[in-house]
Amino acid sequence: MANQNKQLSPLKPGIGILGGTFDPIHLGHTQSAQAVADELDLKKVLLIPAHIPPHKTSQELVPHASAQQRATMVEISCHGSTLFSCDQRELKRSGHSYTVDTLTALKKENPNRPLYFIIGMDSLMTFTHWYQYREILTLCHLIVNSRPNYAFEQLNQATIALLKKHQTSNLAELKNVESGNIYFAKTNLFDVSSTQIRHHLVSKTSWNLQLMPEISEYIHKNKLYR
């Protein structure tokens, strides 16, 4: 049963939020976010590159491109789009990029406006280990994108309990309260990751179909991921 937050009427149009290292940003990011925006009828999605993601600690997972290079690639991906815009607040914040801090700031800037925080199934599997994860659900709705090789059977008991309390499949309910729901978007299986793309770039094998041409050009020009 979904969380029943106090209904606020009328709510302003919601804002989608997709955070990530974006190292580099690829079509799996933007196409899945576009699909969510279409499903929820969103007119604005913020792409927020992370400074130092707290959950990424191994050398393989820390950013390979600089913060400014990653932000530039996100800015490039937003060019000409009426939906996407790049929000660099986490890059300007010292220390780790905690989602709860970003959402708190965005909520203050956008009162009476639902925030739809878009995550992958892989992130849902670790969500109950995130810093102040319960507080996060008081600030936004979680929109979960399915990903290959991540099944419900792999969810831990804490996540299953969270879903029992917060999950909804009702779009009207999702849009009529400001926060507190977990919604599974229609299946959009974009089976690609930034890690895979970096490996292909290092080995100089073609992976350009998963990158905007302008992003490929930027990577080549700046000799990234070599």
Task: Kindly provide the b/e burial profile for residues 73-102, where b requires at least 16 CB atoms within 10 angstroms of the residue's own CB.
Answer: bbbbbbeeeebbebbbbbbebeeebbbbbb
Q: How far is CA 108 from CA 56, 113, 114, 190, 202, in A?
A: 28, 10, 12, 33, 42
DSSP three-state, residue 45: strand
Token pair in block for residue 162: 């969270």
Residue 87 has pLDDT above 90, yes or no: yes
Residue 59 has pLDDT above 80, yes or no: no
Q: Give the span between the Cα atoms of 46 and 225, in whole angstroms.
A: 25
Counted domains in the chain:
1
Flag whether 2 is in a domain: no
Flag whether 202 is in a domain: no
Convert the pLDDT of each residue in 1-11 to its tens digit: 555 454 545 68
Flag whether 196 is in a domain: no
Instruction: Tell me what percent of the residues of the chain surpass a pLDDT of 70.
Output: 81
Flag whether 70 is in a domain: yes
Flag whether 27 is in a domain: yes
Mean pLDDT of 14-26: 94
Convert the pLDDT of each residue in 126-181 to its tens digit: 999 999 999 999 999 999 998 666 667 788 999 999 999 999 999 988 989 999 99
Q: Give the span between the Cα atoms of 132 and 135, in whole angstroms.
A: 5
Residue 106 has pLDDT above 80, yes or no: yes
Of 11-15, 37-41, 62-66, where does mean pLDDT reach its minimum?
62-66
User: Comparing 119 with 202, which gets the higher pLDDT?
Assistant: 119
136: containing domain: 15-191
In terms of average pLDDT, the best of 37-46, 152-161, 217-226 is 37-46
Convert the pLDDT of each residue in 195-204 to its tens digit: 777 766 666 6
Flag whether 165 is in a domain: yes
- Measured over the CA atoms of residue 84, residue 41, residue 212 and residue 196, the dihedral's sign is positive
Mean pLDDT of 189-217: 73
What single letter denotes the amino acid at residue 120?
Answer: G
Q: Give the span between the Cα atoms of 202 and 106, in whole angstroms.
A: 37
pLDDT at 225: 87
pLDDT at 51: 82
In terms of average pLDDT, the best of 6-20, 186-200, 209-223 is 209-223
pLDDT at 93: 86
Average pLDDT, the chain: 86
Flag whether 203 is in a domain: no
pLDDT at 164: 96
Q: Give the span between the Cα atoms of 58 and 43, in whole angstroms.
A: 36
Q: Give the span between the Cα atoms of 88 and 15, in whole angstroms.
A: 16
Flag whether 210 is in a domain: no
State the CATH number of the domain containing residue 94. 3.40.50.620
